[in-house]
Amino acid sequence: MAIYVAMEPPAGAGRNRAEETKLVRDGFSWLAFFFPPLWLLWHRLWIEAILAFVVTGAVSALGEISDYQFLSSGLGLLVMLYVGLEGQALRIAALRRRGWRETGVIEADGLDDADTRYGLEAGAAPSQVPAAPKIVPDAAQARPAQTGMALGLTHNPGRT
């Protein structure tokens, strides 16, 4: 099962927020791993893509100029691994910067299943959702009305 984060667009004139909601899969992305700058450009992460291009170019230049081909390969792999692992989180952060807000987390087998589950949850009226029962009782009801005498540090005069 995969985890999807539902991101709802900012309120605007004539926008159907439920229709434009994006579901972003949280987890490792193989395309982001193999093609980091292109994947970032595809998802409109411009600053991150430029940074990935610069770092990848610097790492490859390091391997060409000096005798550090092994180190250059390792650093390039680290850049690829970072974008593969954190690419979806970068997408979510970029959407937040643009005014989108996180409306839920869905566990589903695939994107279609997540979309169906989100649509069913979004369509439920608030009055149909039962109130959650109180698990922890109110502390004022659990405390006796008169504390009486106590020894040591537990005596609080004037408190009931």
By percentage, how much of the chain surpasses pLDDT 70? 72
The CB density around residue 62, as the number of other CB atoms within 10 Å, is 15
- Burial readout 10-20 (b: 16 or more C-beta within 10 A, e: otherwise): eeeeeeeeeee
pLDDT confidence tier of residue 50, bands split at 50, 70 and 90: very high
Residue 93 located in a structural domain: yes
pLDDT at 123 over 90: no
SS3 40: helix
Task: Name the pLDDT band for 133 (thresholds 50, 70, 90).
Answer: low
Specify whether the CB–CB gap between 123 and 17 falls below 8 A. Answer: no
Please give the tally of structural domains in the chain: 1
Q: Which of 11-20, 78-87, 151-160 is least confident?
A: 151-160
Query: How sure is the predictor about 36, in pLDDT bands with cuts at 50, 70 and 90?
Result: very high
Kindly state whether residue 41 falls inside one of the protein's structural domains: yes
Q: For residue 57, tell me if it sits in a domain.
A: yes
Where does residue 57 rank: exposed (0-12), middle (13-18), buried (19+ CB within 10 A)? exposed
The reported pTM is 0.68
Q: Do the domain assignments include residue 117? A: yes
Domain that holds residue 123: 2-134
- The whole-number average pLDDT for the span 27-40 is 94
Average pLDDT estimate for 33-52:
94
* Numbers of helices and strands, H then E, in the chain: 6, 3
